[in-house]
Structure 1
Amino acid sequence: MPTFARLPAPDSVAQLVRWFWIPEWCLPAGQTSRQQLIAFPACNLVVEPAVVGLAGPTTGSSYRELTGTGWAVGALLRPAAVPHFATAPAVLRDRYQLLDLPALRERVGRAMLEPDDPPARHRQAVDAFATWLSDTVPPPRHEALLANRMADVIDADPTVRTVEDIARHLRLSARSVQRLAARFIGLPPAAMIRRRRLQEAAQRLRDDPETTLADVAADLGYSDHAHLANEFRSVLGLTPGAYRRRTDAAGSPRVEL
């Protein structure tokens, strides 16, 4: 079955990348593995053997059918990196756009062919990816770093539940927060908050079989477990119970990007 690794971003690109993720698979002829993706509210720059693409921010869950042999090396981009690859990230919502970046594809592809030891191969691929980014993307300026702070506040503070909460943390107006989100992320701030809470809920349900939906809802600030269940269905297309059952099966969905 497919394997998955997540590696921290080197210090040289810590303001550009949250982490790197690497799936690899080698499936028998005729076999397919359907992977459900529940992505973070962010863009991903993805290198595959033959192409490089930019996956825009998503508004729901998605799937990828894996066949044969393959790999990908993805970078979960921080907001500061996004304008270098997409001037209007909202246009890329739920889309995958191919990019003409042959040097990046060649460097990462060469690294993925090297050692037989997967951890060593992954480290080399991340180092190659990070070196290309640091050589190519200019250092972030003040507004870009402010957009990073906005994303950090949403990700780290479960008490942040409205655009006004974000504005207070950043000492900005709500309108300024909305402009930052439009330029650097491509989703409204309220959608980022909603998506991040669902991301955390999905991970909790997957990682802790003993936790209850009511406990998860209370910890993440939902009014009750019914509210969480409704959000789960509307955004991810399945109930929390169905998601949990699928995570117990082979080829289970994972919080991947």
Structure 2
Amino acid sequence: MAAPRRDTNRDADRDRDTERDTRGIVDPAEFLARVDFRRPEPAEPLRRHVEHYWLIDWDLSEPYVSHVVPHPAVHIVFQQFEGQDPFVEFAGIQLGLFTQKLEGRGRVCGIKFRPGAFHPFAPRHPVSDWTGRRLPLTEVLPAARNNLDSVLTPPDETDRVAALDTFLLGLAPAPDPRADRATALVELIRTDRTIRRVADFAHAQGMTVRAMQRLFSTYVGVGPKWIILRYRIHEALEHAESTPSTDWATLAADLGYADQAHLIRDFTTTVGVPPTAYAQSNH
């Protein structure tokens, strides 16, 4: 199936808004200074499944190591590193800090799925089967075997995005209301800071804790408690980057932590340095 025709003016405006979002990237200013990074959106029919694409090109005179605090999302990643054959991976949700060394020249074209929205593409497996793992794509999607050569080769970015659209549209997943439900629940956690306890959240949604945990295991790949904590760290990371004088005790309370010590512990465990040290290094 060919990719639908795009409204280029509308998509360009939306793409610029998407590209401004650097949540989860450790030291985003340094990252953006080292690589050419874009986040175009997919064609309209794919947006219920895909949050955005992400394209990276680099030409480095010295190696650079990037770090990302992962989102609760799975990815398909087309990769071309200098001196290596191109390859395509499926990346389940990474639980710890994701680190990638870049050197020489290269290109990556990635697909970031909305939390809960990948399962219809591979409905025989719970997404939790792939959590913390990176696999050749054909081990997860055997039907994609004949569609892997067209994404990395086009020199023009528009053509690469169109190739990603065509690739996904050709997989044609069946509608799944439970996937839509899981995606909506994760979005509520992301946007509503008052959601702090899984039991309260499940009750408010008319679900038992066990039913919510089963839904998240099957469709998202991690539990709701992990997602609540991860979005807290993303917000703390943004504060550390933008406001070096952050009152960490107040922020800890705002994010639902019992005290400042708990926030500092989670931040340090996830990012690798305490929030005050991270904030100072960025300013």
Inter-CA distance 91–246: structure 2 relative to 1 (3 Å threshold): farther
For the 8 Å contact 2:119–2:126, the answer to whether it is kept is: no
Q: Unaligned regions of 5+ residues in structure 1, if any? A: 115-120, 249-257
Kept after mapping to 2: 8 A contact 1:153/1:166: no
Give the letter aligned to residue 149 of structure 2: E
- State the 1:245 CA deviation: 4.2
Normalising by structure 2, what TM-score? Answer: 0.76
C-alpha contact (below 8 Å) 2:119/2:179 kept by paired residues: no
- Indicate which of 110, 117, 129 corresponds to 1:80: 117
43, 47, 52: which one pairs with 1:10?
43
How far apart are 1:168 and its partner, in Å? 3.4
Moved more, 77-86 or 148-157: 77-86
1:40 is matched with 71
Query: Following the alignment from structure 2 to structure 1, what is the Cα–Cα distance between the partners of residues 145 and 261?
Result: 48
- Match for 1:93 among 114, 131, 138? 131
In the TM superposition, residue 163 of structure 1 has moved relative to its aligned partner by 1.6
Confirm or deny: 8 A CA contact 1:33 1:66 kept in the other structure: yes
- Report the 3-state secondary structure (helix = DSSP H, G, I; strand = E; otherwise coil) of the residue aligned with 2:151: helix
Q: Does 1:153 align with 2:184?
A: no
Match of 1:118 in 2: none
- How big is the shift at 1:179? 0.8
Q: Distance in 2 between matches of 1:169 and 1:133?
A: 35
Amino acid at match of 2:119: V
Q: Is the 8 A contact 1:48 1:105 kept in 2?
A: no
Match of 2:258 in 1: 223
Comparing 169-178 with 191-200, greater Cα deviation is found at: 169-178
Instruction: Label 1:124 to 1:167 Cα distance change in 2 as closer, same or farther (>3 A).
Output: farther
The one of 110, 115, 126 equivalent to 2:153 is 110
Does structure 1 residue 176 correspond to structure 2 residue 219? no
Residue 76 of structure 1 aligns to a residue whose secondary structure is strand
Q: Distance in 2 between matches of 1:73 and 1:43?
A: 14
Give SS of 2:117's match.
helix
Residues 1:45 and 1:247: Cα distance change in structure 2 (over 3 Å): farther
Indicate which of 66, 73, 76 corresponds to 2:102.
66
**Cα distance in 2 between the residues matched to 1:165 and 1:104:** 44
Gapped runs of 5+ residues in structure 2? 1-33, 81-85, 139-143
- The verdict on how the C-alpha distance between 1:12 and 1:83 changes in structure 2, with shifts beyond 3 A counting, is closer
1:198 partnered with 2:233: yes
- More relative contact order in 1 or in 2 (CA 8 Å, sep 6+)? 1
